[in-house]
Amino acid sequence: MPKLSEVHRSRVPRWRDVPPQHGRRFVVTGASSGIGLEVARALGSAGAEVVLAVRDRAKGERVAADLPGRAEGRVEVRVLDVADLSSVRAFADGLDRVDVLVNNAGVLGLPEGRTVDGFEATLATNHLGHFALSNLLLPRLADRVVVTGSRAHLHGDLDPDDLAWERRTYRPYAAYAASKLANLLFLAELQRRLTAAGSTLRATGAHPGSTATAITASSGSAALAWVGSWGHRLAGMEPWQGALPTLYAATMDVPGNTYVGPHGPGEMQGWPTTARRAPAALDPGLARRLWERSEELTGVAFPCA
């Protein structure tokens, strides 16, 4: 896989061919629309078994009906609300063997609010739920966990002692950027722990650049909803191309802690290559502290395997 320091951006290969995935089982969270749906579609086309982990079963069943592999029984719909720990535990309890977990579900621009578990809603959806799900499924995983980041993490300011924004003024974009920084810290710390435990599992990550999705649909802001869909459609990529970094991170033989994004200017558009990380995302002390706080809040710990 070419690194930005090793290849001119204009010469990055136009990777779009997912290798055969027959006999491999993937779980994709947030798979009823946007990036998640395109990831599921591509995996199904490559012969994989795909579990669509969605909040709305009816919507999940509708989109599953048209996915490759559905007629052969390779596409399954299961209910999962990553912002609700009881849902996360029930979902994990209902699964057996999984090769790859793709933590894709996410929200952006939410007004300040709390989940049923009392967590700040953006962090709960984008980080804490996936943190719990990943650790619960690790004993049943055969290959890897894929974490979804964002260019917004470059602006993230994460305080592990104020994850609920009780001491700071809540701002929707700041909360989103902090949650995306949490994703990359989780990626690095998960790989560190897997390596220390002698595990062959790996953690990889990806971000979609500027892609037209419905991620801002729950923001309550018409302006944000427009930017999330039509704004990015005018200036960014279609979901199928925005899904490519995730697919690369999920299916290619890359080292643990690899982070993939589009190759173009500002990593807004383009083809999969190594992505940039903020210095804070590489801070091992911050990563360990976030992990400890995440364990305390979710009640889910690293299974040491």
Active site positions, annotated: 176
End-to-end CA distance of the chain: 28
Kind of pairing, strands 98-103 and 49-54? Answer: unpaired
Q: How many CB atoms lie within 10 A of CB 159?
A: 15
Output the six-digit token pair for 157: 């300011």
Contact assessment for residue 135 and residue 300, using Cβ atoms and an 8 Å cutoff: yes
Output the six-digit token pair for 53: 């982990």
The CA distance from 6 to 123, in Å, is 35
Kind of pairing, strands 25-29 and 49-54? Answer: parallel
The CA distance from 112 to 301, in Å, is 27
Distances (CA, A) of 303 to 25, 29, 130: 21, 21, 15
Going by the DSSP 8-state scheme, the letter that residue 114 receives in this structure is B
Contact assessment for residue 288 and residue 164, using Cβ atoms and an 8 Å cutoff: no
Contact assessment for residue 98 and residue 140, using Cβ atoms and an 8 Å cutoff: yes
Q: Which residues pair with residue 25 across a beta bridge?
A: 49
